[in-house]
Amino acid sequence: MADIIQLLPDHVANQIAAGEVVQRPASVVKELLENAIDAGATTIKLIVKDAGKTLIQVIDNGKGMSATDARLSFERHATSKIRNAEDLFQLNTKGFRGEALASIAAIAHVELKTKQEDDELGTCIEIEGSEVKSQDVVVTPKGTSLAVKNLFFNIPARRNFLKSNAVELRHVIDEFHRVALAHPSITFSMFHNGSETFNLPESNYRQRIVNIFGTKTNEKLVPVEEATEVLTISGFVGKPEFAKKSRNEQFFFVNNRFIKSAYLNHAINSAFEGLLKDGAQPSYFLNLTVNPQTIDINIHPTKTEIKFDDEHTLYAILRSAVKHSLGQFNIAPVLDFERDANLDTPYNYQQKSAPSVEVDSSFNPFKDEVVTSKLSSSASSFSTSPSFKKDRGTSWESLYVGLESKGNQSASNFNEVTFESEPETASIFENENEVEQKQTTYQLNNKFIISTIKSGMLVIDQHKAHQRVLYEEYLQNITVKEGVSQQLLFPLELHFSKQEIKLIQQLQEDLEATGFVFTHVKDEIVVITGVPVNVPESEVSIILEQLISDVENEVPDSHFSAADLLAKSMAKSLAIKTGQTLTNTEQEHLVNRLFACKEPSVSPTNKTTFITMTVDELEKKFM
């Protein structure tokens, strides 16, 4: 039998490896930015076109490469970071496997320009699909410029799996944020389609956070500092009152490398226990420094997951450090067993006597007497003191003089007295007794509405049912663009990050169709002067945060309908919550509105809104 196993060609092996390393344009951005940081760059520029599908270019002022190193950098497993397997547990750099550039060059057109500081001329290499097209000497500044064009040009299937430009750009910006936050001492800038998106100068960690997420972020941050033999923690957590529904502001960095860890995230949530609203997510920007020998960062191709030797100890230290910071800055309640008794009251009454009050216990207002006012010692020097003589005619008995004779004269006419009465009009609503007799809905546990029907009964989930009602109502308003707005007495000013402002700008037209009125949407500020009818002013910020969270978490593709998502998000935010008590009229109104919908049986998220139980099914329960 003939042999069937054979070695794959290098370009095929590189394309397979690229499937693990390069998932989308954001993966290329991450690898190139980390290479620039490893090269010792102090200024890094990222240039992106069409969300990275057409061009991704990273320009740095690092140490550059020689002509030989530039050529070898595109070979698989060619690296300057490690020499043997033991070096994997003493890593202080970003890239180390030598797979990134080889994988990128296998699926794109790559142009590399690099020059070392001592060299007069640099090197330019052009590669297409792992094949070196040219290598020339070129005049270029110190550092490296690497341009990746036409990503997935030779793998159309992978290119078809990419999402819309808006979604892919969001992933690119996320990777840019992660690298920029980990290195505040490096100057970063980003350009998309020729316009500057971010310009982050060299700064400290707090300023870097504010430069990325907006100036309003500064007042939300609580510093966290802890140093132990096992772990050193530095960074910030957000105040509980500013917590959002999205996880966009959650960053863990281990030895300046961004990671994802559900276990450590649980430690933060545990520290915030009792301080957050339902569904709210804490914000944190924490740098963890550990011994490189105690972690393994080679367990995932994208290197976003790390294995720790002693996770339980890290969990306890992280939880206690965050909890201590929240208590230290009077954000979490603390028990103070060293209370100073002198601080119980703001004033010291120990040396002062209480004012005395003199009362004349013999005073009788119904007795004829001369009432003499008691003057103070300063007024007692006057020769005469005023006296007030009560007139007998003004006593209380005089109020009833003459009533007896008048009463006798009118007593005989009482049988002729007539009373005015309001004209009888038909009541709009039935009497209460009649309503009780005709009541057809009942509320169970403030969650379900029980309604009787001819064949049995309905059990309706009030929250999901109201979502369906509001969803169809808002969707119709957006489609017809006839949303009714109520004007606010005072404009409402809300603050968001630059990325969130861009999302609101994309949805602004649809939001205005539902009844929102915007007068300013830029520069991290949104000013609202009108809201849809029945939307409380206090709910506006919650609605917009929920909307932003839904847009980011659902990651819609090119077929995504902004109107549909907006209607779903607003319905979810404003629907009657579980636990809310409804009157009989409100219950019947909700049932009637539900069955007037086009799809009353499911909620906007395709959850069941009601179930039916027939009489036969109920009878079987008792058999």
Q: Is 321 left (phi over 0), alpha (psi -120 to 50) or beta?
A: alpha
Q: Which pLDDT value is given to residue 341?
A: 54
| Residue 187, strand partner residues | 43
Indicate if the pLDDT at residue 179 is higher than 80: yes
| Helix spans in 492-561 (H) | 498-514, 540-554
Tens digit of each residue's pLDDT (9 = 90 or more) over 358-401: 777 777 777 655 544 444 444 444 444 455 555 555 566 666 66
Q: Which range has the worst mean pLDDT, 237-251, 420-434, 594-608?
A: 420-434
Query: Of residues 413 and 150, which shows the higher confidence score?
Result: 150
pLDDT over 80 at 419, yes or no: no
Q: Which of the residue ranges 184-193, 362-371, 567-576 would you say has the lowest mean pLDDT?
A: 362-371
Q: What is the mean pLDDT of residues 262-278?
A: 88
Q: Identify which of 591, 619, 590, 623 has the alpha carbon closest to the alpha carbon of residue 456.
A: 619
- pLDDT at position 112 is 93
- pLDDT for the residue 529: 92
pLDDT of 586 strictly over 60: yes
Specify whether the CB–CB gap between 569 and 547 falls below 8 A.
Answer: yes
For the cut 60, the answer to whether the pLDDT of residue 414 exceeds it is: no
pLDDT-based confidence at residue 244 (cuts at 50, 70, 90): confident
Average pLDDT over residues 71-80: 75
610 - beta bridge partners?
460
Please answer whether residues 209 and 285 qualify as being in contact, where contact means their C-beta atoms are separated by less than 8 angstroms. Answer: yes
**Count of CB atoms within 10 A of residue 216's CB?**
15
Rounded to an integer, the average pLDDT of 301-324 is 84
Q: Are 319 and 267 in contact (CB under 8 A)?
A: yes
Specify the DSSP element, H or E, that contains 315. Answer: helix 311-328
**Which pLDDT score, from 0 to 100, does residue 456 have?**
86
> What's the confidence (pLDDT) of residue 559?
43
Beta carbons of 95 and 101 less than 8 angstroms apart = no
> How do the domains of the chain map onto residue ranges?
10-200, 213-328, 442-554+561-612
Question: Given this model, what pLDDT does residue 508 score?
Answer: 85
Determine the pLDDT at residue 355: 66
Share of the chain above pLDDT 70, in %: 76
- List beta partners, residue 137: 123
Q: At the topology level of CATH, where does 213-328 sit?
A: Ribosomal Protein S5; domain 2 (3.30.230)
Average pLDDT, the chain: 80
Mean pLDDT to the nearest integer, 402-411: 55
Q: Could you tell me how far CA 54 lies from the centroid of its own chain?
A: 32
Please tell me the predicted confidence (pLDDT) of residue 376: 47
350: Cβ contacts below 8 Å, ≥ 6 apart: none
Least confident of 231-245, 279-293, 404-418, 501-515: 404-418
Residue 217 clears pLDDT 70, i.e. is over it: yes
Between 6 and 460, where is the model more confident?
Answer: 460
Quick one: pLDDT band at residue 183, thresholds 50, 70, 90?
Answer: very high
DSSP designation for 578: T
**DSSP character at residue 367:** S
Confidence of residue 424 (pLDDT cuts 50, 70, 90): low
Comparing 300 with 9, which gets the higher pLDDT? Answer: 9
In 3-state terms the chain splits into helix, strand, coil percentages (rounded to 5) of: 40, 25, 40
Q: Which of 91-95, 254-258, 396-400 has the highest mean pLDDT?
A: 254-258
Provide the pLDDT for residue 543.
82
Of 47-61, 384-398, 442-456, minimum mean pLDDT range: 384-398
Residue 180 has pLDDT above 90, yes or no: yes
| pLDDT for residue 284 | 93
pLDDT for residue 382: 46
Six-digit token pair at 442? 């009942």
Tally helices (H) and strands (E) across the chain. Answer: 17, 24
pLDDT computed for residue 204 by the predictor:
92
Span 263-274, average pLDDT: 90
CA angle 249, 221, 224 (to 5 degrees): 95
Q: What is the 3-state secondary structure (H, E, C) of 111-164?
A: EEEEECCCCCCEEEEEEECCEEEEEEEECCCCEEEEEEECCCCCCHHHHHCCCC
Regarding the domain with residue range 442-554+561-612, which homologous superfamily does it belong to in the CATH classification? MutL, C-terminal domain, regulatory subdomain (3.30.1370.100)
Share of the chain above pLDDT 90, in %: 25
Q: How far apart are CA 363 and CA 367, in angstroms?
A: 9
| pLDDT value of position 126 | 93
Least confident of 12-26, 56-70, 525-539: 12-26
Which range among 298-307, 469-478, 591-600 shows the weakest confidence by mean pLDDT?
A: 298-307
Which range, 338-347, 420-429, 522-531, is most confident? 522-531
Q: What is the mean pLDDT of residues 596-614?
A: 90
Task: Give the pLDDT score at 440.
Answer: 78
Whole-number CA gyration radius for the chain:
38
Which H or E element spans position 262? helix 262-271
pLDDT in tens, 499-526: 888 888 888 888 888 888 999 888 788 9
Residue spans of beta strands (DSSP E) within 309-455: 370-372, 387-389, 441-444, 448-453
Per CATH, domain 10-200 is 3.30.565.10: yes
Q: How far apart are CA 609 and CA 612, in angstroms?
A: 11
